Amino acid sequence: MAIESVGGSILSKIAELLVEPTIRQFRYMFCFNNFVQEFNEQKKNLALTLDRLQNAVEVAERNAEEIEKDVNKWLEDAKNEIEGVNRLENEKGKNSKCFNWCPNWIPQFKLSKALAKKIETLKKLEENSRKFPKVSHKAPLQDTEFLPSKGFTPSESSKEAFEQIMKALKDDNVNMIGLYGMGGVGKTTLVKEVGRKAKELQLFNEVLMATVSQNPHVTDMQDQMADSLGLHFDEKSKEGRAGRLWQRLQGKKMLIILDDVWKDIDLKEIGIPFGDAHRSCKIVITTRLENICSYMECQQKVFLRVLSEEEAWALFKINAGLRDEDSDLNRVAKEVARECQGLPLALVAVGKALKDKSEHEWEVASEELKKSQSRHVETFDDRRNAYACLKLSYDYLKHEETKLCFLLCCLFSEDYNIPIEELTRYAVGYGLYQDVKFIEGARKRVYMEIENLKACCMLLGTETEEYVQMHDLVRDVAIQIASSEKYRFMVKAGFGLKEWPMSNRRFEGCTVISLMGNKLAELPQGLVCPQLKVLLLELDDGLNVPERFFEGMKEIEVLSLKGGCLSLQSLEFSTNLQSLLLVKCICKDLVSLRKLQRLKILVFMWCDSIKELPEEMGELKELRLLDVTGCMYVASIPVNLIGRLKMLEELLIWDGSFTGWDSTGGMNARVTELNSLSHLAVLSLTIPKVECIPRDFVFPRLLKYDIVLGNGYSITAYPISKRLYLGDISATSLNAKTFEQLFPTVSQIGFSNVEGLENIVLSSDQMTTHGHGSQKDFLQRLEHVEVAACGDIRTLFPAKWRQALKNLRSVEINHCNSLEEIFELGEADEGSSEEKELPLLSSLTELQLSWLPELKWIWKGPSRHVSLQSLNHLELWYLSKLTFIFTPSLAQSLIHLETLRIEYCRGLKHLIREKDDEREIIPESLRFPKLKTLSISDCDKLEHVFPVSVSPSLLNLEQIKITFADNLKQIFYSGEGDALTRDGIINFPRLRELSLSCCSFFGPKNFTAQLPSLQELTIKGHQELSNLLTQLH
């Protein structure tokens, strides 16, 4: 019985296995139309999914995020499958009539089977797209700390210290290294050079740097390291963040540089895995105090000595602009240099301060330095002369405004990146530039002062021009000067204070008080400061400012308050207030602002408590700058409030603040109010709906602006140039005349998903109809262009707008399905000055084109007046109809090209067309001397890459990667007039990586490539491998 049962189940299973394939075969033959219908549905679903993911990727890329590898792979696979679908569809279309009327069973069977297989593939792809938890992640920031520095001038001492540290880094028995020396001797500069070299030699997986300072903040150090790692903390507590950082660093080979250490640091509290269990993590600290190296248990202590007398004199001489023949002056100058005692910071600062001064002034300076002694640093002998030297540099600043600007910089915490915009707002309120009429004029003066102070080494530059730093030794001197009887500043910024410092009497004579960078959890009920002009506070989030706190400071002109809770009614007696900056503050009783009639600058930043701006704000007749940043819940600005602020010069509503501009005659603010502001010069705002802009509205002429129409872009910083963005709107619903005041000055344009966009100025017809005589000036200052998902555009830069190419620096275009040409060059107009001017496109440095299925021309037309002399980065992806990239004359100008990446350009036959519009043969002088990276993938029709005459110029080439180019015969080919070197050997001295597939020869048969630096060689799919290898040495 059991055997019969088993036998029955086996027979049943065999029948099932036989029947199911048979049924499937019958379906292939008789259900062709069902397969066609299912195929069409699945193709549509995949196309919609692809479009959705592409849009998400574009948004991520605009936010400088890195796309997940599996998402990129899916997009590639989906694109390839859709190309395969198109071929299958063509076959289906050709045969469908025949199948309906006179079925040919064998082809129908084969096509049904192919459709069924494709349906399964498309289904699987579409299902896989749902598995992505996210499409992108924040890319780690570039380690600009470790870029080559001009500030590193090796001395005997620094060379010796550098070699000691590098040796210790390679020693497995050393994991803590201490570099100590005087302030201003160059410790920070040296360890940055160490970090740069360690990265270059790939000694560690990661090199991180954090500044510690005298009053260390654990969260600040954690943030500095997290920024470099691209790590985001979800945890709020120090302990939670430390755990997350520890997890990220554990087991990795790490170098962590902790700069400016003043006391023993608990590495575990920060989240740094260290000790015998974590020998792969090495730490370098810098400190002024040798005993800190002992407290931190440094196995290797390295002393950075001051400069020798000869080195000090050489450095001083350069910065003071001294000549050998000025023997009398040099005698005095040497005495001054000796007083700097070999300290680089002092030598540079004093040298620049005395540059071009008379011999008499040099003698006075020498005497001053000899008798100078800092009153406050008797116990720090090594700093006394440094203070005296830096004080001398300060005394030699020419203007009182420059000195005050310098002193305002010391109000910020130690090692702080000082925002020059914030500094400007303090300076204006403080009355520093009363002779300047407009805020932009004061801003320019502040930038000028900053440049002067940087030039004489009193301030330090940062990664961007919008910030500046103060060396901690210079800041100490600035605080000493500012706290003198002349200025009476009180600075306790960045101390991490939670209690109000000392008794109230300490503040009575102060003119400026800075308690920024603290978290004060209590305030006195009132403060008697009759001479106080500037008050900068940072409070604990829950702290209420007492109602009578400001009563005793009637002369206050600048108030900056971060955190806490403030009733504006408490400022009713502060009628001299000119700059009010409220950051992350709970603000109440905004109606009381009407009493601050002298107010020039009003700033609300990330104040979530504000739901609407009071109508009474319109009474602030002197208001010049209104900044509403990141106030997410501001839903109402009363109609005509903005229009009543007649003196307003700068209106900044950005980072998620108010977007509810009225379009229906309601009670909210209207865009047309901008035209009531005759002084308006700086504008930042987002208008989500085109309907909010009347057809006859014209934006006023502006000095700087960030204007967003529609969605898809966000403004995240104060406008420093002239930027216009349009996203998710219809160009036909706009009147191009609206922008005619902006087009002559715009420097950056972005279009995303703009329906009906015809070209770079929206519409040629509209401009022809409404344009004025100034059209020739349109886009003359355009530098950056981004265009994405604009399906109607065919020519981005028509010949008519050729002037837009004069200053263009970067162009990025993607997913524009109808775009056929980027630059239509055309002929110069008769009598034009084009021949005398710089060539068109001569400033273009970066060009990125992707997913442009109809693109046939990057540059179309005569190129006599065109040069790509500045282009250094070119990326081309998914340009299936592009057959060539450069004409010979354009290729000849590529002297600065560093990166060339080409992928999925399946119609590409030549990188350089053999003849251009003037029938010119590729010139023998073609050279790419700066090219470092050459990457080509999935270019099926490409046969050759470069003429062999180019190869001797490729001395900087580091990477060649050419894959899936199935038709590729040679990388370097012999063109007409090409000649090899006499022995046929070409040297590629820096080539480190070579990856090739499906390529028979590297070059012509008598060609040999010398590759002395090659580290990685990958060769795939070569039938004639021996031919290729014989050419590589």
Positions in the chain short of pLDDT 70: 1-39, 59, 61-64, 82-119, 138-153, 325, 372-385, 503-505, 763-776, 827-837, 915-925, 975-984, 998-1004, 1021-1033
Instruction: Identify the pLDDT of residue 384.
Output: 66
Instruction: Identify the pLDDT of residue 419.
Output: 96
- Secondary structure E strands in 462-541: 467-469, 489-491, 512-520, 534-539
Q: How far is CA 216 from CA 238, 269, 459, 496, in A?
A: 13, 12, 22, 9
DSSP letter at 484 equals: S
- Secondary structure E strands in 438-578: 460-461, 467-469, 489-491, 512-520, 534-539, 558-562, 565-567
Instruction: Identify the pLDDT of residue 388.
Output: 83
Instruction: Identify the pLDDT of residue 97.
Output: 45
Say if residues 750 and 59 touch (Cβ distance below 8 Å): no
Say if residues 577 and 557 touch (Cβ distance below 8 Å): yes
* CA 193/CA 286 separation, integer angstroms: 13
Element (H, E) at 692: none
* CA 59/CA 43 separation, integer angstroms: 25
* CA 247/CA 618 separation, integer angstroms: 53
Element (H, E) at 1020: strand 1016-1020
Angle at 70 between CA 68 and CA 72, to 5 degrees: 70
HSE-CB for 167 with a 13 A CA cutoff? 10
Crossing angle of the two packed helices 420-429 and 400-408, in degrees rounded to 10: 120
Instruction: Identify the pLDDT of residue 102.
Output: 45
* CA 262/CA 709 separation, integer angstroms: 51
* CA 709/CA 686 separation, integer angstroms: 6
* CA 769/CA 758 separation, integer angstroms: 15
Sign of CA dihedral 692, 698, 699, 700: negative
**What are 617-642's pLDDT values in tens digits?**
999 999 999 999 999 999 999 999 99
Sign of CA dihedral 949, 952, 958, 960: positive
* CA 626/CA 645 separation, integer angstroms: 10
Residue 338 amino acid letter? R
**Concatenated DSSP letters of 858-873:** EEES--TTB--TT--E
Give counts: helices (H), strands (E), the chain.
Answer: 23, 42
